[in-house]
Amino acid sequence: MVEILSLAGANLLSPMVLCFVLGAVAAAIRSDLEIPEAIAKGLAIYLMLAIGMKGGLALAKSGADNVLAAFMAALALSFSLPLLAYGALRALRAVGPVDAAAVAAHYGSVSVVTFVTAVEFIGARGAAYDGVLVAMLAAMETPAIVTGLLLARRAIGATMPQVPVRRAKLLREVLVNGSIVVLVGGFVIGWAAGPVGMKKVEPFVVDIFNGMLCLFLLDMGLVAVRQLRSARELSPRLIAFALTLPLANGAIGVAAAQLLGFGVGSTTLLATLCASASYIAVPAAMRLALPQARPAIYVTLSLGVTFPFNIAVGIPLYFAVAERLAR
């Protein structure tokens, strides 16, 4: 326990997390600090391209022996994790079935930035990870949306919107959204270029990565707190849900990692993927496919509560558990 707390303390003093805190404080004191949207979007593209390349390179180095099992596990986790979230929300009587289904989809899916922060965290502690984790990240984004929509359909049946949004548009929205394309593309590039080719972009992909992450997390701190401040619909029950579900999902991630025979770094990353909640891809899909659900609830929970929790407390905790299990 002491060890976990000291690890969490050390994490809170990392420049990336401190930049996140700076953004959060700036928003809390109502500073006019703002990262221009185009820059934030550019940073996001950079981070996803770089993390994709790093993953592809790691895969090229380690070879691909357990890739298929890991990929299937990722799909299965993303499909099934929303069931726990939905059950918990309904048991808490926190929200109605439609909002519960929408929130559940977010918690089954993943947050790329949380994953990137975890990669930096384990890297700083010298833990390696399998490249396949980046493929798992991509695989986990979408299935949870399907489960969430099925849960909602079961709950409201015939009162789905009379004018359904074209399925093709929704599919495009989730399968080929920009972040997935750049992430998977970077992964393939990193794998194809291999160690020799990737040497050429090392200063870009490796050396400046943490500085870019600082800037991005500064913006995320601003965004998360502003989202939290504008929220009028959060009950103590919902906040409790958003703080405890990551722990349950993280534990499921750790268990899955044990079954897959992952090391400390990969276990930490899979726990982080399971514990994280989407706040970009899933909200956009839910608005189109399930407009009755309230974004003020699902975005605020995933972006305003769970995301900061994972950045500050969750990641070091999952790492400590992974380390303990490896002894």
Partner 1 sequence: MDVHRRKKIEIVVESGMLAEVVDWLVGHGVRGYTTIPKVSGFGRQGRRATDEPSGVFENTLVIAIAPEPVARQILAESVERLRDYAAIVYLSDVEVARPDHF
Residue 52 interacts with partner 1 (CB under 8 A): yes or no? no
Residue 90 interacts with partner 1 (CB under 8 A): yes or no? no
Q: How far, CA to CA in Å, does 113 sit from each of 96, 173, 181, 280?
A: 29, 19, 16, 10
Alpha carbon of residue 223 to chain centroid: 16
In the complex, least distance from residue 33 CB atom to partner 1, rounded to whole angstroms? 12
Closer to partner 1 by CB, 11 or 111: give it.
Answer: 111
In the complex, least distance from residue 318 CB atom to partner 1, rounded to whole angstroms? 23
Instruction: Please give the span between the terminal C-alpha atoms of the chain, in angstroms, as a whole number.
Output: 16
Closer to partner 1 by CB, 144 or 281: give it.
Answer: 281
Q: Which of 166, 199, 200, 237 touches partner 1 (CB under 8 A)?
A: 166
In the complex, least distance from residue 209 CB atom to partner 1, rounded to whole angstroms? 20
Alpha helix positions (H), 92-177: 97-108, 112-124, 132-139, 143-156, 167-175
Q: Which of 227, 266, 267, 272 touches partner 1 (CB under 8 A)?
A: 227
Q: Which of 8, 188, 234, 288 touches partner 1 (CB under 8 A)?
A: 288
Judged on CB neighbours under 10 Å (0-12, 13-18, 19+), 116 is buried
121: closest CA among 226, 201, 13, 215? 13
Q: Which of 62, 80, 258, 292 touches partner 1 (CB under 8 A)?
A: 292
Find the Cα–Cα–Cα–Cα dihedral 127, 303, 146, 176, rounded to 10°: -70
Q: Which residues here bind partner 1, judged by CB under 8 A?
A: 34, 37, 40, 44, 161-163, 165-166, 169, 223, 226-227, 230, 232, 279-281, 283-284, 286-288, 291-292, 295-296, 299, 303
